[in-house]
Amino acid sequence: MSPRALQKQALQLPVSERWCLVQTLLISIQQETRPAVLTDEPAQSETADDEAISSLHPWTQSLIGILPPTSEEMQTPYINYLEEKYA
């Protein structure tokens, strides 16, 4: 199937199904373009997290990151900032 035909079919879907398609495509693109090593954690745990997130309903996926980080999560970066500033 050509990309043009695929695009035509996608535009005929209901809005909710198009949103699901968009989110699925974005997750796929992010996984393929993400550098292999983002942190010191093993790549296997990142893959497990990605798989767990991608298995969620698209509406639930859209909620990820809405809540602000807790004060404990903010403390370490702030301490690092202060150490760099006053070092």
Cβ neighbors of 53 (< 8 A, separation 6 or more) are 27, 61, 64
pTM: 0.40
Residue 46 DSSP code: H
Count of domains observed in the chain: 1
Residues 17-33, mean pLDDT to the nearest whole number: 84
- In tens, the pLDDT along 44-87 reads 555 677 788 888 888 888 877 777 767 777 778 888 888 888 87
Helix axes 3-11, 15-33, angle to 10 degrees: 140
